[in-house]
Amino acid sequence: AGKLYLVPTPIGNLKDMTLRAKETLENVDLIAAEDTRTTGKLLGLLGIETSGKLVSFHEFNAKEKAPELVTQILAGHSLAQVSDAGMPVISDPGYELVQSAIAANIAVVSLPGPAAFTTALIASGLTAQPFTYYGFLPRKKKQQTDFLTEISRQKETAIFYEAPHRIRATLANLGETVGLNRQVVVARELTKLHEEYLRGTVAELIEHFETVEPRGEMVVLMGGYVESEKPTATLAELAVVVDQLV
Ligand code: SAM
């Protein structure tokens, strides 16, 4: 049988393609790509010859496609899986394929390389051990509020992916759930021309985005809960304190 290679691709800067990732894509028989056009373009820019190797594998066909790809690997073909950017599986397709490969006793080879959350974490200045990566935050206000409330007292660094058009609402919601004094970092456009780290309290970042239009790809990192922290009381918390006083 062949092997399943999980191959990371750059999150913005083409030079972050590793030598091994390039070599693997050149040598495999098949490349399962989230978007064959995006990957075709990337590989073209990197001078990687892939004619006839690209097959489509994305979130909407993953369930039916994974067993087919596994059959191909069992027949002796080596397969690399890539997403549009960064690590496969990390908020991207690949999970079903890994599961199916493991179930079929196929060797899964993970190539190290760029992922937005690790890139952001190590320069954020927040504790890197422990941390939790949550992927994209729930989009609906109620679900997001419930989720943020649930994790508000966790002590590890929390990492989220967020879209620029939602960041203002999300910061406002962080203010209401974890409090305005919590440390947050918004890491923007990593590895690209306009790379930027915005570090401060929730209140400071809300203020920043009052005058600056949020743009580009973003990772949001939130410091863990510290007991000495003076949380900005939410209305609900204030009501509890007042109850205790009277
Ligand atoms: N598989 C990717 C990885 O390994 O990070 C993540 C894919 S996910 C569909 C795309 C999200 O990742 C973006 O919306 C953004 O939140 C984050 N992201 C990707 N590239 C980024 C970059 N260069 N700078 C900041 N965030 C980035």
ipTM score here? 0.99
Q: How far is the CA of 184 from the centre of ligand 1 (A)?
A: 18
Give bridge partners of residue 5 from the DSSP assignment: 80, 109
pLDDT reported for residue 51: 77
pLDDT at 64 over 60: yes
pLDDT reported for residue 232: 57
Q: Are 217 and 117 in contact (CB under 8 A)?
A: no
Q: Hey, which of 40-44, 179-183, 227-231 has the most confident mean pLDDT?
A: 179-183
152-206 pLDDT, tens digit each: 999 999 999 999 999 999 999 999 999 999 999 999 999 999 999 999 999 999 9
Question: What does the pLDDT average to over 1-30?
Answer: 96
Q: How far is the CA of 8 from the centre of ligand 1 (A)?
A: 12
pTM for this entry: 0.92
Q: Which of 59, 159, 219, 221 is the pocket-test mutation for ligand 1 (most atoms within 8 Å of CB)?
A: 219
Q: Are 186 and 218 in contact (CB under 8 A)?
A: yes
**CB of 86 shorter than 6 A to ligand 1:** yes
Percent of the chain at pLDDT above 90?
Answer: 89
Average pLDDT, the chain: 93
Helix (H, G, I), strand (E, B) or coil at 79: strand
b/e for 39-50, b at 16 or more Cβ within 10 A? bbebbeebebeb
110-140 pLDDT, tens digit each: 999 999 999 999 999 999 999 999 999 999 9
pLDDT at 231 over 80: no
**CB of 38 shorter than 6 A to ligand 1:** no
24-40 pLDDT, tens digit each: 999 999 999 999 999 99
pLDDT reported for residue 230: 64
Q: Are 127 and 157 in contact (CB under 8 A)?
A: yes
pLDDT at 234 over 80: no
Q: How far is the CA of 233 from the centre of ligand 1 (A)?
A: 32
Percent of the chain at pLDDT above 70?
Answer: 93
On the 0-12 / 13-18 / 19+ scale of CB atoms within 10 A, 242 is exposed
Q: Which residues touch 188 (CB under 8 Å, ≥6 apart)?
A: 194, 195, 196, 197, 198, 215, 216, 217, 218
pLDDT reported for residue 246: 45
pLDDT at 241 over 90: no
Q: How far is the CA of 85 from the centre of ligand 1 (A)?
A: 7
Residue in the block written with tokens 């399962």? 32
Residue in the block written with tokens 């909407």? 60
pLDDT reported for residue 200: 98
pLDDT at 85 over 50: yes
Question: What does the pLDDT average to over 216-222?
Answer: 98
